[in-house]
Structure 1
Amino acid sequence: MFTDIGAVKIFALENYTEKSPRRKVETDSAVIRFLYEAICYAEFQAEHRRDPDQEMMDRKWFVLKFIHERELKTQTQNLQREIDKQKAKMEQEAKKREEEEEKILQKLREQYKEKEKEMQQQFERERLRKQYEHEQRMEELQKKMGKKGRSK
C-alpha cells in the first residue's frame, strides 16, 4: 500500500515509548535508522530546492503534450483507416469497371467473329456465284465454238 502511494523507503517499527518495560536492540536500531533516513532526506531536500509551481507547470505541459500527441496519433490512424477504405472502394470500382469492360470487349469480339463469319459466307456465296457465271459463260462459249466448228 505504501509503495502504491509513492513511498520510496518503508520502515517497520514496533510501538516505542520511553516507558516500554522491555527495550530491544533491534527496535532501538530500527528507530535510529528511521531517524537517520529522515534526517538525510531532509538535508537532501534542503540542498536541492524545488519550485512546486514550476514543477506543476512542467507536469501540466507534459500532460497536455501527451494528450495532444495521442490525439494526433488517433487522428492519423483514423485518416489512414479512411484512406484504406477509400483505396479499397476505388480498387473495387476499378475491378468492377474492368469486368464490365471485359464483358463489353467479349461482346465486341463475338460480334466481330459473327460479322467475320457472315462476311466469309457472303464472300463464299459471291465466289460461287462468280464461278457459276464463269462456267455459264464458258458453256455458252463452248456452244458457240461448237456451232462454228460444225459449220466449217
Structure 2
Amino acid sequence: MAETSHLTHVRSDGSAHMVDVSAKEVTSRTARAQAVVTTTEEVVSLLGQDGLPKGDALATARIAGIMAAKKTPELVPLCHPLPVAKVTVDFQLQVPDAASVLITTEVKTTSRTGVEIEALTAASVAALTLYDMIKAVDKSAVISDQKVLAKSGGASGEWSRDD
C-alpha cells in the first residue's frame, strides 16, 4: 500500500478520519477566497442596475455565501464545526476585458483550525447562486478560478497567493 501518512485526513491504513485538533492552540484565524462568474456584458450591466428577472442577484448571492460558510461542516465531511465570527462576500463587476463578476470572501474565527474551506465554500455557493440568478439571461455563464487567496493564524502563520 502507498505511504499516506503525510496526508492529515488519511490514516496509515488509507482510511479517512477527522483530524484531532484538540492539542492545537486557539488563535484568531482568517481566510480569504475567490470565485469568478464569467458572463456577458449585458448581464454585468443588469447586475449593476438590479435589472435581472429574478431580482437582486448580488444580495441573494451574498446571503447564500454567508449561510454556506456557516454550514460548511455539513457539506464537507471531515471539516470541523467552527465558531464563525465574521463572513464577508463582496462582488466586483468587471468589463470590458472579460465580462465577469469577481467574488471575494473573508471568514474569521477564533479556533483551533483554519477557515480556508469556509471561505472557499462561501465563494463557491455565492457563485452558484449568482449563476442560478442569471441563467434566465445567460445559460452559458461559467464559474471558475475558485481558490484561497490568503490565510492567517495558527502554527503556519501568514500565507498569501503570489499570483
TM-score grouping bracket, smaller chain normalisation: under 0.3
Structure with higher helix content: 1
TM-score, length of structure 1 as denominator length: 0.19
Higher relative contact order (CA 8 A, sep 6+): 2
TM-score, length of structure 2 as denominator length: 0.18
